[in-house]
Amino acid sequence: MRWTLGAVPTLVLWMSVLWAGCAGAQTPPENWQNCASGRDPDTSIKACSAIIEAGKEEPEHIAGAYLDRGLSYAAKDEYQPAIADFTQALKLNPTLIYALIARGDAYGETGKYDLAMADYSQAIQEQPGSADAWNGRCFYRAVAGRLPEALADCNEALRLRPAYTETLDSRAFVYLKMKNYDAAIADYDAALRADPKIASSFYGRGLAKRAKGDAAGAKTDIDTARSIDPDVASDFVRYGLE
């Protein structure tokens, strides 16, 4: 699945870029630190808003504040203001690849799959080495039923970043929709070895086991998934699987 796994590495990566780039800026350092930290979304939103409203920084720095505020809105499942902030970040800095990927994630969460895929495609065009962009397009191509293309995208993401947990989860989802249950289970197993708290991997593996006739194994995985994320079943229904 996309947002819950994808946003955190993007935020952490941007924090280092933003903090390094703003040395000597006119804004108090604690505002930049709180804006970029993401530890508490409301605190981050307040700090980023102060930076934006003060209007004292260079456009590329303001773009970073919009990006981080958008990520904080997205962490609260407030995707419309997140999309607005990512769009503003891109107006100020059209080369900001992280804003394209984050906006793609947010579009996907609001069911705007074509817009999500368009943002990932643009990100890939501008930065072909971005495993996050290839993974995002893989997942939403799978949601849209474009399975061979989705599989190719996931394979490229894994070539760029081997054993990337998020892409293993996405590729397993592709295999699940292809009804290649053994391959799906293998990728879900690998994802869960790396991170045993991925609700979507437990749920998807449960569906694959159920399709193979392993009712007991399916129940264990699905129950575990629901204990981690009570809404995981509705996510799979939204993506065409139940």
pLDDT at 97: 94
d(CA 176, CA 68): 34
pLDDT at 9: 42
pLDDT at 26: 55
pLDDT at 230: 96
pLDDT at 15: 47
Q: Which residues contact 173 (CB under 8 A, 6 or more apart)?
A: 1, 139, 142, 184, 200, 204, 239
pLDDT at 32: 80
Q: Write out the two tokens for 22.
A: 């703003």
Q: Which residues contact 159 (CB under 8 A, 6 or more apart)?
A: none
Instruction: Enter the DSSP assignment of 144.
Output: T
The C-alpha R_g of the chain, in whole angstroms, comes to 19
pLDDT along the chain (242 residues), means of 10: 42 45 57 81 91 86 92 94 97 94 95 96 97 97 97 98 96 98 98 97 98 98 97 93 87
* Sequence-separated contacts (24+) of 102-107 with Cβ below 8 Å: 102/7, 102/10, 102/67, 102/70, 102/71, 102/74, 103/70, 104/133, 104/136, 104/137, 104/140, 105/2, 105/3, 105/6, 105/7, 105/74, 105/136, 106/3, 106/70, 106/74, 106/79, 106/82, 107/83
pLDDT at 215: 98
Q: What CATH number belongs to 3-182?
A: 1.25.40.10
pLDDT at 10: 45
pLDDT at 3: 41
